Amino acid sequence: MRDLLIESLSASASANAVSWLRSQISELSENFEKRPFYYAFSGVSRRFSKTATIQSSDDTIDGWDEFRAARAALLLVLAQQEKEVFLETFSAVLNTADIREQVALFSALRWMPHQEELVESAVDGLRTNIVDIYDSIALDNPFPQEHFTEEAWTQMVLKAIFITRPLHRIHGIEKRRNATLAEAISDLAHERWAAGRVITPESWRSCIGFIDERIAGDIGKIAESENPDDRAAAALVVAEEESGKLDDLKTALSDELSRIETGDLSWKSLGQEMEDKLIRKSLT
């Protein structure tokens, strides 16, 4: 992965910046010391662009800014060190990191050793009000799926709903479904409906397999919505739910169910469409 990061950086960053990064990696790999690592990690901001993004054949890093990619490459050197040095250094850097440095640290969790000892830091990071930091942990990152407790997972997904993040980019959004989360989503939906507000249609994806009488009523409500995204979500739940508790909605959702059968509608396509709408809205 380190070679891929550097290769991707070479296509967008200056030759001098990439040469500097290669030199730092070589020196730290041969003789790792904490202070030079700190200097190199912070020194990325003086040599790379915070706005330029890299392109890669690996979807997990495609679109990263140069700051994140360069720092991740350095973190992969840190990952090779003995446990005590690694954990002390990672913690020290995280405790003093600015926003972009935190994004790099949390994005790289998937490649770090001793991951069980980094879970608390990731959970703490999700308490942030800074969307970029939240996204670096929750989105396009397999770390939470693999290591979070059910409680931490549930809180992460609920916060994603609260701050309108794209749920389709959360690894394990289907595998980590649970009854507590489904009940909490129903509670939140009722609160918002009572206040004349809406809940993202993607939310109902986490209720499949835990459809009780109340949630069945919720799906029935969105199946009658004037919002096509709500009806699409209802159909996707109906199509996947095996309990038979939603079969009476199939006739009303026949058009949407036909789109699912032909491959024109999926949770991924719905999530991407909604994410695109949010992006367009933010630009206006």
pLDDT exceeds cutoff 80 at 284: no
In a domain, residue 274? The reply is yes
Band of residue 238 on the pLDDT scale cut at 50, 70, 90: very high
Amino acid 60: pLDDT = 87
Task: Quick: pLDDT tens for 105-164.
Answer: 999 999 999 999 999 999 999 999 999 999 999 999 999 999 999 999 999 999 999 999
Contact 203, 161 (CB under 8 A): yes
Shared-domain flag, residues 108 and 29: yes
In a domain, residue 65? The reply is yes
Amino acid 282: pLDDT = 81
Final residue before a domain boundary, out of 70, 104, 129: 129
In a domain, residue 23? The reply is yes
In a domain, residue 167? The reply is no
d(CA 242, CA 15): 56
Task: Quick: pLDDT tens for 30-58.
Answer: 999 999 999 999 999 999 999 999 999 88
Shared-domain flag, residues 75 and 193: no
Shared-domain flag, residues 183 and 111: no
d(CA 123, CA 115): 13
Domains held by the chain: number:
2
Shared-domain flag, residues 184 and 125: no
In a domain, residue 86? The reply is yes
Shared-domain flag, residues 47 and 108: yes
Contact 270, 204 (CB under 8 A): no
d(CA 249, CA 34): 61
pLDDT exceeds cutoff 80 at 199: yes
CA-nearest of 151, 4, 150 to 76 is 4
Final residue before a domain boundary, out of 109, 129, 149: 129
In a domain, residue 94? The reply is yes
Domain that holds residue 35: 2-129
In a domain, residue 164? The reply is no
Shared-domain flag, residues 9 and 98: yes
Kindly state the tokens that stand for 184: 């909490």
Shared-domain flag, residues 13 and 105: yes
Final residue before a domain boundary, out of 94, 129, 164: 129
Task: Quick: pLDDT tens for 249-283.
Answer: 999 999 999 999 999 999 999 999 999 998 888 88
Q: With both helix axes pointing from N to C terminus, report the angle between 66-78 and 99-107 in degrees, rounded to the nearest 10.
A: 60
Contact 125, 96 (CB under 8 A): no
Percent of the chain surpassing pLDDT 90: 95
Shared-domain flag, residues 206 and 267: yes
Contact 252, 221 (CB under 8 A): no
Beta strands in the chain (DSSP E): none
> Residues 6-16: what's their mean pLDDT?
95
Helix (H) and strand (E) counts for the chain? 15, 0
d(CA 229, CA 81): 48
In a domain, residue 256? The reply is yes
Segment 147-156 long-range contacts (CB within 8 Å, at least 24 positions apart): 147/115, 147/116, 147/119, 147/122, 148/119, 148/122, 148/123, 148/176, 150/176, 150/178, 150/180, 151/180, 152/119, 152/123, 152/126, 153/178, 153/181, 154/178, 154/180, 154/181, 154/184, 155/126, 156/126
Shared-domain flag, residues 97 and 198: no
Shared-domain flag, residues 110 and 38: yes
Task: Quick: pLDDT tens for 153-192.
Answer: 999 999 999 999 999 999 999 999 999 999 999 999 999 9
Contact 89, 76 (CB under 8 A): no
